[in-house]
Every structure is written in C-alpha cells, then in structure tokens.
C-alpha cells in the first residue's frame, strides 16, 4: 500500500537527527515536525529569520510581529535567535543548515528538482527554495509519486523549470525512497505490498536497486 | 542626517509616478503600512516595486496592484495574491522572480558598495540565463548584480531622534538591508524616543542609513495566516 501523507511524514521524521539545524519547507514537509521524537534535540530554522522555531501560539501569545516563512503565527523556543533576511540566508547559502526537507512537483534521475513554476499556468515563485537546495548540506524531497491522473512525477528529465540542478540527496514518495549517489538514483526502500514491477510502471526514471532494499514504513 | 516628518503623506510627497521603491516585510509581517497607505492615496502610478511578495489582495502592495498602479515588480514569491498572477498572465505587469537569498544579497551588495558577486544559487536554472558563469574551485557560480532603489520604505519598532532603528521579532526581515540599499530611506516607526534612550549596543540600523523618519499614524498589523495551537 502507498503511504498516507502522515505515514510518509512519520518516516521522513526519522531522518532528523539530534544536534542538527533543519529548515522545513511549506506544505507536506511541515508535517514532519509533528513526528519527531521528543528525545531528538533539533533546532528549526525559518528563512524569515528564526533559529529556534517553536509551535503555534495560544490566543494570548499571538503576535503579528512573529511569523514563520509560511506567514503563520508562531512562537520561539528558549534559546532562539531572530535575525534579518541577509543573515537567515547566510546560514542557508553558507552551508550551515544540515538538512532541508522540501516538497517537489518533479524530481528526475539526475537529482534535479522542479517545484516553483508551471509555465503559462502557475507562477508562485521560488521563494527560498533555490537557496535552500544550493546551500543545505542534505536535501530531502518528499512528494507524491504520481500526479492525480497517475502520471509519474519521478522522471528521466524534469519538464518544468528547475529549482536546482543535481542537488537532491534523496526523495521520499508515497511508494518509495530513492537515494542519489555518484550520479545514480538508487531505490533503497519500497512500500509494503508494492512489487518492483508496479513501482517501475509508476516511475519514468531509470534507477538501480539497492542490494539491501528495505520496506518503506 | 535624518529628518523627522509630521505625517506619512508629507514624508512620501516626492515619491512620484515611475519611482522605484523597496518595500520591507515578509508577506505582510513588518511592512510600512502607513507609508503604503499614503502612497496609495498619493495617486502615484507606474511604480516599480522591489518587494519579497505581492502581499495579499486588497492590502499593502496588493491595493496598489488592484488599482493597476504597479508597472513592474522584483519579487521572490507571489503565491498569495491572485490578482497579480492574473495581471502577469495578461501581460499587464512585469515580474522578475528571483531567489529569496539572492534578493537579500543583491541589496546587501548595493548597501556595502559591491557591484556584483558570484552565487551558487540558481546555477543550471532559468535564473542563470544571460548571466556570466564562473567556475571557482571546481564549482559553478553565476554573477549577480547589486540591487538599489530610489526609495526604501522600511518599518521599524522604535527609532531615536538620530534615526537609529530597532526592529521587533520577525518584523525585522528585509527592513535592515533595504535601509542600506535605498537612495532615500524612509523609516516608519511605532515610537520615536529622544537620542540616548536606546542602548547603542542594541541598534539594528544605525541612523546613517536613514534619511527620513515618521511615526506611523495607525497600525493595523494584519496577520496573514492566524494559526493557533491545537
């Protein structure tokens, strides 16, 4: 069975390690925070200037001057720092962020990602995504494996304008986990009860299969 | 030397049609809402805006866009404003979308007198089209130029009479860097205190970057996405 969004967020949360600085993208990646074990000591950064992001506020705590990069009201944790945009992106571009988790419209077998524009249809802008994929030490993409009409979003070559070229470290979908190593895309985990043939039918990209293939759960 | 003005209307009087204006804020958090209201009331049009987002329909920059008074925008994310997307697809507005960190750094470069810099962001994407590519230590970079403006509209929490500014929480965002990059930086603040009352150690933007100062008349401080703890 393919994973639900929640199951996928729970799986990706296991990639978040203690002692790291992490930036979560908007949409599906923001769910990951809900599944990180309390023993994990992670610091979340937001590109609008928080290092040490907390949860959402109570009604009394709401402050129009304290939001996250999705423009939602938030709080900060003890030990947080608030910086301006230049400094927030110095952290990102300068290679100080250990991990970013982003959503994707398309990922291809060369580790390219597209997630900001559909020419003629949708133009929302790249925001901080191009900076994050260029600067973070590890780039995880989490996305649906196929479009609602069943077309593969894991491609030989991205068709949409790129967000970054050969920048993806690994991609998690509702069907599988692929890791990019030395220019190759390798299947390392596959959802339970999905056969390799079923996966191949849903995947346009060519990939290798890890000798230690595991269940995505 | 900073000059303190009595009203938002007066402080933006020479922001005429066709001006290029930087507007601080992340979404609508930390925008100079009084200056934007005064700009709307001034009737100036054909404006060239440098703003992270298009704000929201009917508020902030969104109000100017609704009235078709924005000629061009340099921005990074316009996902929250339907009207700007409509105008863009109809060819009614020019929009240059650039990566957010590049947006910040180009203004920083302007403020510190660096005409251009090499960046790894956007290599191999549309963003790199037409730009010089240079390989440094085996990695590709693109040349990005400094970005300035006729005016910068910044919003700070407090100022002193020397024009020193202090921001509050994430309302800081692009305001400090824009203050350094505008030819004429206009700061709108919630409170102006006598020189000496702010701790020199705590100043975010020193007064040297601020040409004009005004105490905002009314702060609505709208929230884009009110989200509460469940």
ipTM of the complex: 0.97
Which residue range is the domain that position B34 belongs to?
Answer: 3-113+147-215
pLDDT band at A121 (very low <50, low <70, confident <90, very high): confident
User: Exactly one of A15, A39, A47, A184 is catalytic; which is it?
Assistant: A47
Q: Nearest by CB to B228, which of A58, A85, A89?
A: A58
Instruction: Report if residue B227 sits inside a domain.
Output: no
pLDDT in tens, A182-200: 999 999 999 999 999 999 9
A47 CB near a chain B CB, below 8 Å? yes
Q: CB B229 to CB A50 under 8 A?
A: no
Task: Look at chain B and report how many structural domains it folds into.
Answer: 1
Residue B230 confidence (pLDDT): 87
Contact B88 A123 (CB under 8 A): yes
Chain A residues within 8 A of B108 when measuring between CB atoms: 86
Q: Over chain A, what is the mean pLDDT?
A: 97
Return the ∠ at Cα A178 (arms to A174 and A182), rounded to 5°: 165
List, for residues B125-164, the tens digit of each pLDDT value: 999 999 999 999 999 999 999 999 999 999 999 999 999 9
Q: Tell me, what CATH number does B77's domain have? A: 3.40.1080.10
DSSP A125: -
Cα–Cα distance, A64 to B220 (Å, whole number): 10
Q: Is residue A122 pLDDT above 90, yes or no?
A: no
Burial of A180: CB neighbours in 10 Å, binned 0-12, 13-18, 19+ = buried
Whether B121 is covered by a domain: the verdict is: no
A165 touches chain B (CB under 8 A): yes
How confident is the model at residue A52, as a pLDDT? 98
Residue B208: band (very low, low, confident or very high) from pLDDT cuts 50, 70, 90: very high
Residue range B170-183: mean pLDDT, rounded: 98
**H/E segment holding residue B33:** helix B33-42
Note whether B26 contacts A49, CB cutoff 8 Å. yes
A126·B97 Cβ contact <8 A: yes
Measured CA to CA, the distance from residue B136 to residue B10 in angstroms comes to 49
- Quick check: is B128 in a domain? no
Q: What is the DSSP letter of A176?
A: E
Q: Do B99 and A131 touch (CB under 8 A)?
A: yes
Tokens of A116: 């900001």
Q: What pTM did the predictor assign?
A: 0.97
Residue B167 within any structural domain of the chain = yes
A134 to each of A35, A138, A155, B28, B58, how far by Cα in Å?
26, 10, 21, 27, 35
Task: Name the closest residue on chain B to residue A129, using Cα atoms.
Answer: B99
Residue-wise pLDDT for B50-108, tens only, equals 999 999 988 999 999 999 999 999 999 998 889 999 999 999 999 999 999 999 999 99
What three-state secondary structure class fits B194?
A: coil
pLDDT of residue B57: 87
8 A C-beta contact, residue B197 and residue B40: no
**pLDDT attached to residue B80:** 84
Shortest CA gap B164–chain A (Å)? 16
- Cβ neighbours of B167 in A, within 8 Å: 84
Probe site for chain A from B125, B137, B176 (most A CB atoms < 10 A): B125
Q: Assign A209 a pLDDT band (cuts: 50, 70, 90).
A: very high
Pairing verdict, β B139-145 and B116-119: antiparallel
> Any idea where the domains of chain A sit in the sequence?
5-212
Q: What is the pLDDT of residue B110?
A: 98
Query: What does the alpha-carbon distance between residue A86 and residue A130 come to, in Å, rounded to a whole number?
Result: 15
- Asked if residue B141 is part of any domain, the answer here is no
In the prediction, which pLDDT does A6 show? Answer: 96
A42: number of Cβ within 10 Å: 17
Q: H-type helices in B173-230, by residue range?
A: 175-181
SS3 content of chain A, % helix, strand, coil (to 5): 20, 35, 45
**B220 within some domain:** no
Give the rounded percent of residues in chain A with a pLDDT score beyond 70.
Answer: 100
pLDDT of the residue at A26:
84
At residue A108, does pLDDT exceed 90?
Answer: yes
* Domain A5-212, classified CATH 3.40.1080.10, yes or no: yes
Region A96-109: mean pLDDT is 98
Give the contacts of B216 (CB within 8 A, at least 6 positions apart).
B8, B32, B33, B34, B35, B155, B188, B189, B190
CB contact under 8 A, B172 and A92: no
Task: Give pLDDT, residue A215.
Answer: 98
Mean pLDDT score of chain B, rounded to an integer? 97
Give mean pLDDT, residues A140-160: 97
Token pair in block for residue B220: 């609505």
- The alpha-carbon radius of gyration of chain A (Å, integer) is 17
Q: Pick B104's closest partner by Cβ from A69, A85, A130.
A: A85
A64 touches B: beta carbon within 8 Å: yes
Spatial contact of B28 and B58, defined as CB atoms under 8 Å apart: no
Buried b (16+ CB within 10 A) or exposed e, B115-146: eebbbbbbbbbbbbeebeeeeeeeeebbebeb
């Amino acid at each position: 069975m393919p994973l639900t969004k929640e199951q996928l967020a729970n799986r990706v949360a296991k990639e978040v390690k203690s002692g790291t600085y992490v930036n979560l993208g908007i949409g599906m990646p923001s769910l990951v925070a809900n599944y990180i074990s309390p023993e994990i000591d992670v610091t979340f950064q937001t590109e609008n200037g928080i290092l040490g992001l907390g949860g959402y506020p109570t009604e009394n705590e709401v402050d129009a001057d304290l939001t996250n990069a999705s423009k939602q009201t938030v709080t900060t944790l003890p030990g947080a720092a608030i910086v301006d945009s230049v400094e927030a992106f110095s952290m990102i571009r300068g290679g100080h962020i250990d991990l970013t988790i982003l959503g994707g419209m398309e990922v291809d077998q060369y580790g390219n990602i597209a997630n900001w524009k559909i020419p003629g249809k949708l133009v929302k802008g790249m925001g901080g995504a191009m900076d994050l994929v260029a600067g973070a030490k590890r780039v995880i993409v989490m996305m649906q494996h196929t479009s609602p009409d069943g077309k593969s979003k894991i491609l030989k070559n991205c068709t949409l304008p790129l967000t970054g070229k050969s920048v993806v470290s690994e991609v998690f979908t509702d069907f599988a986990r692929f890791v990019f190593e030395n220019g190759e895309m390798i299947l390392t985990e596959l959802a339970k009860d999905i056969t390799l043939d079923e996966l191949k039918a849903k995947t346009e990209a060519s990939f290798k299969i890890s000798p230690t293939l595991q269940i995505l759960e | 030397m900073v000059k303190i003005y009595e009203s938002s209307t007066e402080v933006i009087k020479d922001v005429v049609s066709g001006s290029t204006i930087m507007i601080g804020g992340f979404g609508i958090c930390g925008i100079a809402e009084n200056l934007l209201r005064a700009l709307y009331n001034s009737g100036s049009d054909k404006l060239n805006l440098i703003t992270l987002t298009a704000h929201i329909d009917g508020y902030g920059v969104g109000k100017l866009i609704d009235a078709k008074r924005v000629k061009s925008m340099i921005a990074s994310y316009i996902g929250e404003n339907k009207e700007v997307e409509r105008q863009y697809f109809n060819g009614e507005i020019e929009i240059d979308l650039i990566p957010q960190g590049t947006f910040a750094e180009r203004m920083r470069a302007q403020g510190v007198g660096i005409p251009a810099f090499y960046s790894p962001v956007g290599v191999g994407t549309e963003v790199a089209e037409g730009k010089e590519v240079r390989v440094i230590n085996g990695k590709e970079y693109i040349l990005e130029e400094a970005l300035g403006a006729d005016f910068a509209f910044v919003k700070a929490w407090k100022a002193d009479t020397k024009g020193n500014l202090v921001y509050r929480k994430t309302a800081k965002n692009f305001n400090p860097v824009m203050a350094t990059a505008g030819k004429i930086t206009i700061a709108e603040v919630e409170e102006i205190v006598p020189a000496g009352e702010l701790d020199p150690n705590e100043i975010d933007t020193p007064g040297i970057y601020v040409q004009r100062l005004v105490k905002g008349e009314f702060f609505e401080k709208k929230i884009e996405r009110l989200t509460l703890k469940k």
